[in-house]
Each structure stands twice: as C-alpha cells, then as structure tokens.
Amino acid sequence: MTTLRMEEGAHAVLARNDRGGYTVPTDRLYPFQWNWDSAFVAMGFATFNVDRAYRELERLVEGQWDDGMIPHIVFHVPSDTYFPGPDVWGTRHRILTSGITQPPVFGMALRHVHEAALANGMTDAEVRTRALFQAALHSHRWWLEARDPDGLGLVSILHPWESGSDNSPAWDEALARVPTTTTTTIRRKDTGHVDAAMRPRDEDYQRFIHLVDVYRDCDWDPKRQWAKAPFKVADVQMTAILARATADLMHLAEALGTDEDRAGLAQMRRRLVDGLARRWRPDLSRFVSLDLISGADIEAPTQAGFIPLVALALDGAQQSAITAEIGRWLDGMVVGVPSTPAFSPAFEPKRYWRGPVWAVINWLIADGLRLNGAEDLARRVEQSTVQAIENAGFCEYFDPTTGEGLGGDTFSWTAAAYLALGRRR
Ligand code: DGY
C-alpha cells in the first residue's frame, strides 16, 4: 500500500499543477496542457476525484482539430517559460495548439474514468463519456487515415516529439538525416529550468525545429506533411497504445456506441494488431519499429519494444522470451525498467529518454505484463516504481543505476502513477 503522507503529497502535486480543469506537467518547464500527460493524469484523478478526471479530458479535447487530431500541446493561457510557443507552431485551430500529436492514451484513460464514475454512482457519467467517446473515435480515425495511408497496420510519427520519447536512441539514425538548419530562431528555455546534461542536446533541438519549419510550411496539412516528411517512423509504441486504446473504446462502444462504431473499431483493432504482430523479432525478444524512409528495422533497444504487451496476447514462447529480456534489462539496476538498457552503447542514465526510468512507461509495461499472465514481473515493476517515488519524490524520471530523481520535480504524471500503481500493490 502507498503511505498516506505520500498520497497526500501526490494530491498536492496535482493541485499545485492545476490551472483550472487542466493540469500542467510541471510548473515553468512545461506550462501548458500536454496530451498524453493529461491522459495519465486523468487516471490519477480518477482515484479520488472523478469529476476532475473528466474535466482533464474535456479540456484536452478543446484543442482537437476539425480533422480529428488531438495536438500534443494545448496553449490555453500564454507563458514565456517554454520554447517553442504558439508563434513558432503557427497553427490555425480555434484555440492555440501545437501542430503535432502524442500517444493516444486518451482512449485508455476514458475507459478508466468511465469505470470509476460508474463505481462512484455518478449520474452524468454516461453523457460525459459519450461526448468524449466521439472525440476519441474521431481521433482514432485521423490516426489511421493520416498516419497509415498505405495500410501497414502501423501508425507513423513524423516528429520525435510525437513519440513522447523525444531523444530516444531509437530515433538517432532517422534523425541524423534531418538537417540542422532552421528558419526559426531557437531560444531554448528548458535548459534554464533543468540541467542541460539531463536534456536533449542542441543539435537535437536544431533537427526538432527543422521538422516544425517543414510542417508549418505544409500548412499542417496531413497529406502534404506525409509527402514532405524527412522523418517518418512506423512506431511500435505508438501503434500499441493506439491498438490498446481502440480495444478500450470497443469496450465502451458495447454500451455507448452504434453498430457502425463497433464494426469500425473492430476493423481498426484487427488492422493494428496484425501490423504489430509482424514487428516481433524472436532474435531480439522484443518488437521493433520501422524507419519508413530507409526501409530498415530500428533495432536500437528501447522501452518501445515492450509496449506491444498492452495490446497483444502473446504466445507462450513470446511471453517467456519477453519476460526474460525485461529481466535482463532490470539486472543490476536499482530501479527499472530503463528506457535504454545499460548494455547499450547509447545508454546515458541521466539523459531524458536515453536510459532513465519513467513511471508512466512502467505503468504501461506492468499493465501489459499482467495482461499476458506475467503477474510476478508486473508486481515487481510496479513496486519498484512506487519505491523509487517514495525515495526520490515525484520527479520527472529516475536514474536506473542509483534511483536518483531527475528532470523536473513535482511532476503531475509521476504523482498520477503513484496513485494508480500504489493501489495495485
Ligand atoms: C519538450 O519540449 O521537451 C517536449 O517533450 C516536447 O513536447
């Protein structure tokens, strides 16, 4: 069980980061509403305030574009502590947003919040879930049309920021092809809040902003972006989250959807599950993403290779192989699962997505392990996450070799993970 003092601490982090129905990931470093952060945060709120959990999702869909995309940032209120702000994105939605998206945890969160609402006997649960269900369905259709136009059964990211794992070694080769030239002047703010050694490098930022420049020049039109994209990766983490969220929407659709919704979702899920299953590599004991520009598998070991656990029922041989591989990555670590394993040449235990442990990733991995019958390992991952937070606080991420808390402190999604995972101990 979690301790009462820490639970109160988690509630206090969420209260401190509340900006009026939505939660910033942390003060100053991330001063707006972020897409997948908010979905995890909604599940955290669902443990003690279901009305507020719904609000988190409702405020996020204020930023949804007419074509269905839910952007990665909604700039509800101005702030000068973050770069790139709305002027760089230059999008034209009713309210200011970025122009790219993030992992669609939204559908998973919606089912979670709906079930909490029913358990609490909330009278407006059905009306609120129904509206959000339509938003989620629209966004899933956008994903398949805009990001899998060739019907691979895998959705692609056009920017590393979309993956949420910005500077993961998984993107190194693909990103190296992106020029470092930009038409936008880069004025990084992140390194004023957090030690530069824990953040992406300047060269990464030049490439990140080059991509923003290219897509802004496409007027954020999905077809033009697809044609012009200098970075295009069919990502197994993104696809797995979309497939799982689709299954969660199918569950909601049993009571709240039409026959057409149910058939559409079932077809979508089948396509994604089949696409993902083809990405299993028995020699690596994990799944691999596909670089659509070079045509090559991305074999760099990162946490993404395990995320398909949330969406697929693996066979016995795959289950034993993947659990043994996760065990190998945990070996010698104070806290796991590292985002890059210590045996990889790319491992940097303090630099953002190149080694550190992220509570929400462990939340997904543990959930997927449990779905695949690996209860003991699921509990081990959950318990070490809760323990790391109790030792170091609600930090953005943790050094796997020492357990030290890193990045921004008082992080909303770490507080949410503590509340959700602590209940399962
Ligand atoms: C950042 O600015 O570091 C974000 O991860 C991009 O969304």
Please give the distance of CA 186 from its chain centroid, rounded to a whole number: 25
Residue 200 CA: nearest ligand 1 atom is 3
User: Residue 30 Cα, ligand 1 centroid: separation in angstroms?
Assistant: 8
φ and ψ of 305, to 5 deg: -65, -15
Residue 323 and residue 377 in contact, taking contact as beta carbons nearer than 8 Å? yes
Listed residue (65, 216, 203, 213) closest to 141, CA to CA = 65
Q: Quote the pLDDT of residue 422.
A: 86
Q: Are 2 and 399 in contact (CB under 8 A)?
A: no
Among 79, 32, 85, 86, which Cα is nearest to 59's?
32
pLDDT of residue 147: 98
Concatenating the DSSP letter of every residue in 4-33 gives: HHHHHHHHHHHHHTBSSSSB-SBTTTB-SE
CA triple 76-162-186, angle to 5 deg: 70
Provide CB contacts within 8 A for 269, sequence distance 6+: 243, 246, 247, 250
Name all residues whose Cβ lies below 6 A of ligand 1: 72, 161, 166, 190
Catalytically annotated residue among 148, 166, 204, 235: 166
Residue 263 CA to ligand 1 center (angstroms) comes to: 36
Tell me what pLDDT residue 264 has. 98
404 labelled catalytic? no
Q: Note the pLDDT of residue 388.
A: 97
What's the token pair of residue 23?
Answer: 């939660």
Q: What are phi and psi of 108, to 5 degrees?
A: -65, -45
List the domain boundaries for the chain.
Answer: 1-147, 313-425
Q: Whose CA is nearest to atom 6 of ligand 1?
A: 161
The side-by-side arrangement of strands in the sheet containing 297-298 is 156-157, 233-234, 289-291, 297-298
Q: Within 10 A of 117 (CB to CB), how many other CB atoms are there?
A: 21
Binned average pLDDT, 10 residues per bin, the chain of 425 residues: 86 97 96 98 98 98 98 97 96 96 98 98 97 98 98 98 97 98 96 92 96 98 98 98 98 97 98 98 98 98 98 98 98 97 98 97 98 97 96 97 94 98 77
Write out the H or E segment, with its range, that includes residue 234: strand 233-234
Residue 422 parent element (H or E)? helix 412-422
Find the 37 Cα to ligand 1 centroid distance in Å: 11
Residue from 166, 186, 351 whose mutation best tests the ligand 1 pocket (most atoms within 8 A of CB): 166
pLDDT of residue 409: 85
| pLDDT for 1 | 52
Task: Select from 114, 62, 144, 61 the least CA-distant residue to 256.
Answer: 114
| Test site for ligand 1: of 28, 30, 35, 98, most ligand atoms within 8 A of the Cβ | 30
How many angstroms does the Cα of residue 165 sit away from the middle of ligand 1?
Answer: 9
Residue nearest to atom 4 of ligand 1 (CA): 161
CA distance 236 to 308: 7
Catalytic pick among 148, 396, 399, 404: 396
- Nearest-angstrom CA–CA distance, 55 and 22: 7
Give strand pairing partners of 405. 398
